[in-house]
Structures are given as C-alpha cells and as structure tokens.
A and B are shown apart, each in its own frame.
Chain A
C-alpha cells in the first residue's frame, strides 16, 4: 500500500481543480458540472462546494449522471443503477464531467453516450482526481487531472472520503 495523496494534499488538489475549472469557465453561467455516479459524485460534491465560495452559488448548475444502462458489458456482469439527476438542459452548454479515477476510459465512453440523451452540449471536458495514464483502452484523456500516476493492471487505486470511509486520502493497493 502506498499513499498517493494525503488528506492535506487531497484538499489542496480539490481546490486546484475547482480553480482550474473556473479559470476556463469564468462566470460559469454557460457551464454545467456533472458528477458521475456513484464514486465521482464524492469528488464533484467537493469541487462544487469550492466553486460556491468563489462565484454566486445560484449560477452553478450541478447534476449527477449514472451510466449503468450505457455500459458495454451487460452480458458479462450485472450492474445496479443509482439515481441520475440532471434538472436542467445541457443543450449548447459547456459540460464539465467529473469522476474520481480515470482508468480504461470505458466509463467515460459510456458517460459521453449517456450525456447525449439529455441534449447536445457545445463542449464536454473531463476532470478527474487520479489519471492512471498507461491503462487506457480507448482514446480518452482528461482536461483537468489531480494527479497522474503510472500503475499496472493488478494494482488498485482507492479514494477514501471521510464521510464514507472514515479517512480522507488516495491510496494505491497491490494485490
């Protein structure tokens, strides 16, 4: 086991990601933030919390997207869906998708498909906390990345959040 981000580093990284998103989408009026269920939402909740301290909270449009029904492995394994909640139109909006770990890229592929069921965004960008850059199976890259790491397939990245896991850190597990 190896720590990738300590509690303090994690807090700083979340702040940085929020700042970078704001840097590229100054007023946020034409931008929407969408966290991926279930794990990405823990990160997007934090990022949105940071954003509310920097801009008028009423302009932030924040949704949650579950991609279970868009997966490409229905026959291989059964996945249980969680709630999707996008209470606004994404037509012609700039969408920032947020997930915790970018690995094979298949989740993001499914998320892009799922997103189009809600309208046609003018631009979609991707924000992740951890980018496992050498494990991609699809040509998908993040626009905002908390930490880029080199891993092998047998390793596992685990993101812990205080409210859920008792501690707050990102760790790398060998198995």
Chain B
C-alpha cells in the first residue's frame, strides 16, 4: 500500500484510500509523540528544505518539528533573508538548493500553483504548505484527523465552514477532503466572501445565515478574515463582520446543542471568533495544532519513499 501521488500538491489529487492511509499513519505517529523519546529514525538519510515565501508560524514550526521527529536533516529558507530579494527566480533558487542533494521540498508561496509549477521541473518530492488562495492540504488533513478523533467518523458528518471562503485555501482543501470522505458541507459567510458557483462546483450548500448554519452542523470550522488578500473592501467593517458572522458564546448557547469549534489559526480575536469561544469548552483549536505534527509526519513519511 502506498500513496497514489509522488507529491502532496493538493487534496484534489488524492483519492479516498490516500486520505485514509495518511490519517491512519498519523494515528501511529500520534502515539510516537506520547513516548518518553518522541523521535524515530525513519527519515535519517533524507534532507528536507522548508521554502517559505510567505509568513507562517504554526505551519512552519509544525513541519520543522515533524521533520526533526522523523530524524530528517532540515534546511530552512525564509524570504526576508534570502537571495530572492536580489531577483533570483523561484526555479533558480530551488535548483540551487537541490544541487546540494535535497530529497523533499516543503513550500509555501503566495502564488496559487507555485508548487505545481515546481513539481513539473524538479525531481524532489514536493509538499504544498499553502499556495495563494488554492490549497493547504496538510491543514485539511489535520482538520479531518481532529474531527475524526473528536467525533469518531467523517462519513455523514455535518461540517460548516464559516467566513472568508473566497480567499481561503484552508476552505478549499477542506471542502475537497470532506466531500471525498462522505461528509456534508455547508459554507457560510457574507455573499461577497463566497464564490458564486461554489455549490455546484464542489457539492456544498451555501448558507448566508450564521445561526442556521450553526444549528445544522456538528462541527464549525471558522476561518480567518484574510485582509491581506482582499484588495477591495468586501464588507463594511470588522466590527460589522463580527456582529453578523462572529461566533459568540451566547449564540452557541442558544443553539440547544453542542457543536465543535475549529479554527486553522491565526485567530483574529473579536472578529471571526470571540475569545470566550476560542478558549471555551467547545473549541479543539489547540488539539488541531497538536495533531498537525503527527499528520505532517505521516505525509513526509509516506512521500519519502521513492522506489517504483
């Protein structure tokens, strides 16, 4: 048994068996992370470079920790301190790095499709750590892992994805994954932040009323408002967004049922999520972060093997 792809560019390219294999392997790595010695020698002769052309705290640290827990050699690249500032192209940068005998590339880039471009031109295995407004596959995998861990299944689960659907790669990867695994998905948010034909294209339902979406769902995955990707105003103010679409404790208590609250981070407290919800009993936000390391270990482990 192995993955059907040589890279992890997006959930779009994975099939059900791939997703199941990654999640079950991640379960084993989660157990590894509970041991007194939380490190295994699996990738001790593999070198991995983390190419982050865009800022990141969680994802970069999570990947680096996953790589170190697998005993891989790790190289880090950050845009601010690199030669890209001197005008070197992406392909030149990567080819130079690869000539130092690197086996895998973990990449985040602000341009959608950047890792796909790279995959066509270089021999190393590529893991997409977020590309523009396209996909963030490891986030969707760790979200799915966390949902399955908390609620026992994905099949038939009702998941509401709430907020800036238009600019969120987390939303797109989550929609692909949840639909492939047989979950039902509702996207909710202001009409200006939801692409027009998303329902037909991805097999999800669109809901503009937050309370209705919450009443329907088992899990609410709340997204960050991505002001850095909005080059024109799409809602009048953050305060107004919070009043109409922010998740508040009172609102949750009025539902008459318990739902699980997730957020991929970083949270804009008081915008999409109030503090008493983010830190409250329904939130599994920190479990998501914990599970991220195990899920990324699984992805790297399964892609490191390049026989065939």
Residues of A within 8 A of B302 (CB): 78
Whether the pair A75, B305 counts as a contact (CB closer than 8 A) is yes
Residues of A within 8 A of B36 (CB): 117-119
Whether the pair A117, B28 counts as a contact (CB closer than 8 A) is no
**0 or 1 for each of A54-94: is its CB under 8 Å from B? (1 = yes):** 00000000000010111100111110111111000000000
A116 within 8 A of B: yes
CA distance A81 to B37 in the complex (A): 18
Known pairs A75-B306, A84-B28; A69 contacts B40 (CB<8 A) = yes
CA distance A168 to B81 in the complex (A): 64
A103-162 with Cβ < 8 A to chain B = 113-114, 116-119
Smallest Cβ-Cβ distance to B1: which chain A residue: A80
Residues of B within 8 A of A76 (CB): 305, 307
How many residues of B sit at the interface, in one of the four size bands?
20 to 34
Whether the pair B42, A69 counts as a contact (CB closer than 8 A) is yes
B228 within 8 A of A: no
Extra inter-chain contacts (14) besides given A74-B46, A76-B305, A77-B305, CB under 8 Å:
A69-B41, A69-B301, A74-B43, A74-B45, A75-B46, A75-B305, A75-B306, A78-B302, A78-B305, A81-B28, A82-B28, A84-B32, A113-B41, A118-B37
B1-36 with Cβ < 8 A to chain A = 1-2, 21, 24-25, 27-29, 31-32, 35-36
B39 within 8 A of A: yes
CA distance A90 to B301 in the complex (A): 27
Residues of A within 8 A of B140 (CB): none
Residue ranges of B at the interface with A (Cβ–Cβ < 8 Å): 1-2, 21, 24-25, 27-29, 31-32, 35-43, 45-46, 70, 301-302, 304-307
Residues of A within 8 A of B301 (CB): 69
Partner of B37, one of A71, A75, A78, A116: A116
Whether the pair B32, A69 counts as a contact (CB closer than 8 A) is yes
Whether the pair A78, B25 counts as a contact (CB closer than 8 A) is no
Whether the pair B42, A74 counts as a contact (CB closer than 8 A) is yes
Residues of A within 8 A of B305 (CB): 74-78
Whether the pair B45, A70 counts as a contact (CB closer than 8 A) is no
Measured between C-beta atoms, what is the minimum distance from B7 to chain A in Å? 15
Whether the pair B40, A83 counts as a contact (CB closer than 8 A) is no
Residues of A within 8 A of B46 (CB): 74-75
